[in-house]
């Protein structure tokens, strides 16, 4: 694969890349890269999940989402998930395990890693200065409805919640 850097800065990198197709033709596309992100399905109890209501300044509105953040302060994704959980919800997980990874598109070179956190206890870290959020404990069903009902649904939260609900239908049972 050939790559030409077009921009690099502020944690982002834009390249013009060329890659071969199976029939010999070449695909050329601008690709955007940044650090990976983690998304945490944090369960304070078997039937409740932590959900954030966060003001997103560039939307001018609150949206509902899972605790989420960039893997930019450490190389270990599980450590990043634990840190983000503490910064955004005030909880530390006694158990945190990898669940799934997914991707936006082939031209956005960044992975989304989902973790499941249980055995939560209060142990907050200072939140980022430019974030404004509320922490809520809701059922998985309510979490899905709130995230999907946001003015700008957070796609990574949608994907993580729906995948988890599909694979763990017992959590949806009342």
Residue range 74-132, pLDDT digits in tens: 989 999 999 999 999 999 999 999 999 999 999 998 999 999 999 999 999 999 999 99
Average pLDDT, the chain: 96
Write down the pTM of the prediction. 0.93
- Parallel, antiparallel, or unpaired: how do β-strands 133-138 and 91-105 relate? unpaired
Q: Are 147 and 67 in contact (CB under 8 A)?
A: no
As beta bridge partners, residue 102 has: 112
d(C-alpha 158, C-alpha 147), whole Å:
7
Residues 6+ apart with CB under 8 A from 129: none
Q: Please tell me the predicted confidence (pLDDT) of residue 1.
A: 79
* Residue 174 pLDDT greater than 70, yes or no: no
d(C-alpha 148, C-alpha 143), whole Å:
8
d(C-alpha 155, C-alpha 103), whole Å:
11
Q: Please tell me the predicted confidence (pLDDT) of residue 156.
A: 96
Q: How confident is the model at residue 65 (pLDDT cuts 50, 70, 90)?
A: very high
Q: How confident is the model at residue 172 (pLDDT cuts 50, 70, 90)?
A: confident
* Residue 68 pLDDT greater than 70, yes or no: yes
Domains of the chain: 1-33 (no CATH), 35-171 (3.90.79.10)
Q: Please tell me the predicted confidence (pLDDT) of residue 75.
A: 87
As beta bridge partners, residue 96 has: 117
Residue pLDDT, tens place only, 14-63:
999 999 999 999 999 999 999 999 999 999 999 999 999 999 999 999 99
The pair phi, psi for residue 52, each rounded to 5°, is -100, 145
User: What's the burial of 117, exposed, middle or buried (CB within 10 Å: 0-12/13-18/19+)?
Assistant: buried
Percentage of the chain lying above the pLDDT 90 cut: 93
Q: Are 115 and 97 in contact (CB under 8 A)?
A: yes
Please give the full DSSP string across 23-46, using - where no structure is assigned: TS-EEEEEEEE---EEEEEE-SBT
């Amino acid at each position: 694969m050939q790559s030409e850097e077009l921009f690099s800065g502020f944690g982002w990198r834009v390249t013009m890349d060329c890659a071969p197709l199976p029939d010999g033709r070449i695909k050329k596309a601008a690709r955007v890269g940044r650090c990976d992100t983690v998304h945490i399905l944090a369960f304070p109890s078997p039937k409740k999940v932590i959900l954030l209501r966060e003001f997103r300044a560039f939307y001018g509105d609150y949206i509902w989402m899972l605790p989420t953040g960039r893997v930019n302060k450490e190389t270990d994704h599980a450590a990043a998930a634990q840190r983000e959980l503490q910064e955004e919800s005030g909880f530390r997980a006694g158990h945190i395990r990898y669940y799934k990874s997914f991707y936006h598109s082939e031209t956005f070179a960044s992975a989304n890693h989902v973790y499941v956190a249980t055995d939560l206890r209060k142990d907050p870290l200072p939140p980022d200065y430019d974030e404004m959020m509320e922490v809520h404990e809701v059922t998985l069903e309510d979490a899905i409805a709130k995230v999907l009902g946001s003015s700008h649904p957070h796609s990574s939260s949608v994907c993580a919640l729906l995948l988890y609900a599909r694979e763990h239908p017992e959590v949806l049972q009342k």
